[in-house]
Amino acid sequence: MRAIFQYTPPGQLEYLSAVEIKSIMNQIFSRGQRHELIPVFQHGRDAADYLLAHILAVHAVVKGDASSKWIAAATLDRYLQAIGHPQVFGTQYLDRDFLLMMEHKNDPQTLRDHNPETGVTQQPYNLNLVPDALRLAFCVPDLAQQKANLKDVEAGQYPKGIFHCLYYDLLPTSR
């Protein structure tokens, strides 16, 4: 059976079977606490975990949880990269060396011969598929802000504009 991980209180990873995960998911869904599962799968082990995180995030948005818009975009980007496709929203910032290792994981000669690179990239990234208006609807910064964010990361600073939506934009409309 495929196993995924769950953080345990002391910070250790505990591997769970698919049956145990399904049981936990049923309990969490019955309590309406989808957010507890999304990060577990978003930081999972493989494409199937990322896809499940995306499905859970979209479900949360459909149920009226606007705060899950950004994670829905981020989980899609991570899933696409895991299956060898470019991200489309621009939420994933990868270390250049990590990207090279991922792209050449089956080419040991290239891995041996390459010179370490420093820096961060959003590549591979299909910049043209999703318009900025749709990025903003998912609380993802537009391309201009993403370029500024990349410069901040390269300078060793935390980017100012990772999430585009303001807190009050995410509050329920019926107060």
pTM of the model: 0.72
**Are residues 15 and 40 in contact, defined by beta-carbon separation less than 8 angstroms?**
no
Q: Which of 23-27, 29-33, 131-135 has the highest mean pLDDT?
A: 131-135
- In sequence order, what DSSP letters do the residues of 101-168 get, joined into one string? HHHTTT-HHHHHHPPP--SEE--SB-TTTS-HHHHHHTTPPPHHHHHHHHHHHHTT---S-S--S-GG
Alpha-carbon gap, residue 80 to 124, rounded angstroms: 10
CA angle 76, 81, 87 (to 5 degrees): 60
More confident residue, 147 or 3: 147
Question: Does residue 6 sit in helix, strand or coil?
Answer: strand
For residue 10, the model assigns a pLDDT of 38
Domain boundaries, the chain: 4-169
> Which element (helix H / strand E) includes 75?
helix 69-82
Token couple for 54: 């995306």
Name which of 26-35, 44-53, 135-144 the model is least confident about: 26-35
